[in-house]
Chain A
Amino acid sequence: MSVMVYIPTPFRRATGNRDRIEVGAHDVGGLLDELERSFGGLKGLVRNDQGEVHHHVNIYVNSEAIEALQGLRTTLRDGDEVTIIPALAGGTATRW
């Protein structure tokens, strides 16, 4: 199963500045495993030590948030586009 992953600016430092990466995986969890294997720098950026996606990270399959699908078990089909987007949030004393 080959899908295209779109890496937005904030995560590109972990992917050698690549914005599109083709990954073979059956579901979103497997895709993250595969990505982290290829780009060690992504470890900890997308998921915590327990393997849960961080609160401030959103993952989309073809523009649909995975929470509205089957989460990390969301299955992937050939040609799907997956996007990993960190939140932009803030105020006076927190991360942006």
Chain B
Amino acid sequence: MVAQSVILTPDELAAIKGQALAEYPNECCGVILVRGSERHLMACRNIQDAKHREDPVAFPRTAGNAFYMDPRDVLTFSRREAEGFRVAVIYHSHPNAGAYFSPTDIEQAAPRGEAHYPDATYLVVSVVGPDVPAAAAYRWNATARTFHRIDDGQLLGPDRDSGPESSRLMAAAERLIPGGVNSPVRAFRGVGGQPFFVARAAGARVWDVDGRSYIDFVGSWGPLILGHAPAPVVRAVNEAAGRGTSYGAPTPQEVEMAEAIAGAFPSMELVRLVSSGTEAAMSAIRVARGATGRDVIVKFDGCYHGHADSLLVKAGSGGATFSIPDSRGVPERLAALTLTVAYNDLDAVSRLFRGRGSEIAAVIVEPVAGNMGVVPPVPGFLAGLRDVCTRHGALLIFDEVITGFRVAYGGAQALYGVRPDLTCLGKIIGGGLPVGAYGGRRDVMAHVAPLGGVYQAGTLSGNPLAVAAGLATLRVLRQGDPYGQLERAGAQLERGLRMAAEKVGIPLTVNRVGSMLTGFFTDGPVMDYASARGADTARYARYFHAMLSRGVYVAPSQFEAAFVSLAHTEADLAAAEAAAADALAALV
């Protein structure tokens, strides 16, 4: 059975039908509250009759006023939000109680107006017999400001179940780890359902703890350009571990890594290793502020540069998925120092500089955006940023955490021929272990301690295992024509997706640069955060589960990239294309 995007268990459906029959001819209503794997169905009272008697004008007896949930019940479940419950489903029984559930009925049942609970599923259930799963479910699309139907004609989403062992582990994880995960997007909140727990991985494939395997296009969110557990990397890590896991003192391999980075990125004349992309971006900002003596940073809506306070403003990725423009806990006075502009809007950047150019320390940009889904720079955008920054004495920072060694060995700056002042790296240079790096112009980096007064440090910076994994990865990337292979594989996948979507008439805009791509469910074009947000995320959620049930793991969010690795074989790509064609056909 194709995985559904509606989360409703058979028991819950039976309970709702039972309630509906008991309350007939009045409609029944209620909610399903969810906290992690815990689910709680709360039947609510329909007081439409009483409201009608009280005020027949405001509450007429029409199909459009079929139920009015007792506010005391709303109060009760609202209070449970404080305990961490979320209103996942708001249901009521079908107005035409018991008669039929035709396509017209389903259409009429679509909620009107704005969603009070934009993240909930609005469900209309028919009371036709306990064995008929007739229902229609709707989700709010915040961009289109309308409800979209999200079920496939029959209800029941238990098939989104992630396997018994994964479920058990998730329940255990949720007791100890916020949301059960150590990074929010892993919780599948952007697509619903529960994540699978990974047992092992090799090449292009991941196996979960229930023995299911998936062709992996997430690739640990970008680092695994060679695929999982490539022999040279595993060997290098094993050997390094035998020599000790950390010294907190300089090693020869750090010099080799700095040489490899500077060789690939001539703009990085001095380079400092850190332990994550977040650290790299946070440090680059500090250096830019320290070197220029200015405080203001410019970033682009939907670009994500890790979760440092200054950069968690209009960020994409987890932020895009959860519609959290700013994280709580980021002081407003700090966020005020981060100005945001639409991606690819050079005019807006120029206007900003005309007004406040003398305050701006740096512009930080993903030269190919990857965290609102893949959005390439329009011609002239990066060169234009270079020019504006130079004229105003601001620094240009390329966040190449994703694109570095991904879109070309020398990153996006080699691909587009634009030289930034500072560059942030991560992901691939760690070969799947935690590493980040930042570097750039010698005179700017000379501000970093111990040379200069900008402090930045790390117990595990330049960790020998991570450096060994990174060096082994880069060695493979210097042999043969890996980027040609990645380009061909990416192009094949892009073509397959486009053709499959066209065939079934689903609007899909595929953005791709080399081996990173995103298929946005929209007519497009997608060239900034606003147009990315126009994508139909409910449809993406269905696509995600349809792919997962066909053994293909793509990102559990519309606003992320798919990554092709050198481990994806012709057969893997063909299987993924076939799965996509089948999945897209099932969405129509």
Contact = CB atoms under 8 A, between A and B. Distances in A.
B504 to A, nearest CB: 29
A29 interface: no
B81 A10 contact: no
Contacts of A94: 64-65, 112-113
Interface residues of A, number: 24
Interface in B20-53: 27, 29, 44, 48
A87 B69 contact: yes
Judged by DSSP, the binding face of B is mixed
Given A55-B58, A94-B64, A88 B69 contact: yes
Contacts of A88: 29, 44, 68-69, 74, 90, 116
A9 interface: yes
A91 B62 contact: yes
Contacts of B55: 55
A10 B79 CA distance: 13
A87 B122 contact: no
A88 to B, nearest CB: 4
B78 interface: yes
B451 interface: no
Interface string B72-95: 101100110110000100101001
Nearest to B62: A91
B108 A92 contact: yes
Contact of B66 (A55, A86, A90): A90
A69 B94 CA distance: 35
Contacts of A58: 71, 74-75
B111 interface: yes
Contacts of B67: 89-91
B87 A9 contact: yes
A95 B113 contact: yes
Contacts of B74: 8, 58, 85-88
A85 B75 contact: yes
A33 interface: no
Interface in A69-96: 83, 85-96
Nearest to B66: A91
Interface in B267-284: none
B116 A93 contact: no
Given A9-B81, A17-B328, A60-B75, A95 B112 contact: yes
Contacts of B64: 90-94
Interface of B: 27, 29, 44, 48, 55, 58-59, 62-69, 71-72, 74-75, 78-79, 81-82, 87, 90, 92, 95, 108-109, 111-117, 122, 324, 328
Q: Which are the 5 A-B pairs with shortest beta-carbon distances?
A: A91-B66, A95-B113, A10-B116, A93-B64, A58-B71
